[in-house]
Amino acid sequence: MNDNPIRFGTDGWRALIADTFTFENVRACAKAAAQHFRDTQGTDAPLVVGWDTRFLSQEFARQAAGVLAEEGFKVLLASRAAPTPAASQQLVERGAAGGLVITSSHNPYNWNGVKVKPHYGGSASPAVVADIEARLPAILAEGVPAPHPAPGTVEEFDPVPGYLKAIGERVDLQAIRDAGLRIAFDPMYGTGAGLLAELIGGGKTTVIETHAEPNPRFPGIRAPEPIDENLDALKRMVAEGSFDIGIATDGDSDRLGLVDERGEYVDQLRAFALLCYFFLEIRGERGAIVRSITTTAMADRLGAHYGVEVIETPVGFKHIAPVMMERDALIGGEESGGYGFRGHLPERDGLLAALYVLEAVAVTGKRPSELVEAMFAVTGAHYYKREDFAIDERARDEIVAKLDSAEPATVAGIAVTGKDRMDGWRFSTDAGWLLFRMSGTEPLLRIYTEVREERLVDAFISEGRTIAGVA
Residues 466 and 389 sit within 8 Å (Cβ to Cβ): no
What is the number of helices (H) and of strands (E) in the chain?
15, 22
Residue 352 pLDDT > 70: yes
Q: What is the Cα Rg of the chain in Å?
A: 22
Q: To the nearest 10°, the Cα dihedral for 220, 253, 301, 171? A: 130
Cα–Cα distance measured from residue 95 to residue 118, given in angstroms and rounded to the nearest whole number: 11
Residue 3, pLDDT score: 63
Amino acid identity of 436? F
Q: How do residues 146-177 score in pLDDT, each as one tens digit?
A: 999 999 999 999 999 999 999 999 999 999 99
Q: Which fold has domain 8-161?
A: Alpha-D-Glucose-1,6-Bisphosphate; Chain A, domain 3 (3.40.120)
Q: What fold, for 178-379? A: Alpha-D-Glucose-1,6-Bisphosphate; Chain A, domain 3 (3.40.120)
How does pLDDT run across 304-321, given as a tens digit for each residue? 999 999 999 999 899 999
CA-closest candidate to residue 171, choices 352, 39, 405: 352
CA separation for the pair 377, 453 (Å, rounded): 15
Q: What 3-state class would DSSP assign to 468?
A: helix
Amino acid at 346: P
Q: Indicate the average pLDDT of the chain.
A: 96
pLDDT band at 393 (very low <50, low <70, confident <90, very high): confident
CATH topology of domain 383-468: TATA-Binding Protein (3.30.310)
What's the rounded mean pLDDT across residues 188-217?
97
pLDDT-based confidence at residue 2 (cuts at 50, 70, 90): very low
**What are the residue ranges of helices labelled H in 44-194?**
57-70, 84-93, 126-142, 160-168, 173-178
Question: pLDDT for 271-315, tens place per residue?
Answer: 999 999 999 999 999 999 999 999 999 999 999 999 999 999 999
Convert the pLDDT of each residue in 34-92 to its tens digit.
999 999 999 999 999 999 999 999 999 999 999 999 999 999 999 999 999 999 999 99
So what's the pLDDT on residue 1? 39
Whether the CB-CB separation of 331 and 306 falls below 8 Å is answered with no
| Under 8 Å between Cβ of 425 and 416 | no
Residue 242 binned pLDDT confidence (cut-offs 50, 70, 90): very high
Of 125 and 360, the structure prediction assigns the larger pLDDT to: 360
**By mean pLDDT, which of 6-10, 43-47, 226-230, 257-261 is the weakest?**
6-10
* Residues 6 or more apart in contact with residue 437 via CB below 8 angstroms: 294, 315, 423, 424, 425, 445, 446, 448
Domains 178-379 and 383-468 equal at CATH topology level:
no
Domain ranges of the chain: 8-161, 178-379, 383-468
Taking each helix axis as running N to C, give the angle between helix 457-468 and helix 396-405, from 0 to 180 degrees, rounded to the nearest 10. Answer: 110
Q: Which has the closest alpha carbon to 244: 179, 197, 339, 194?
A: 179
Among residues of the chain, what percentage have pLDDT more than 90? 93
d(CA 290, CA 330): 8
35 contacts 341 by C-beta, under 8 angstroms: no
Q: What is the pLDDT of residues 81-95, one digit of tens each?
A: 999 999 999 999 999
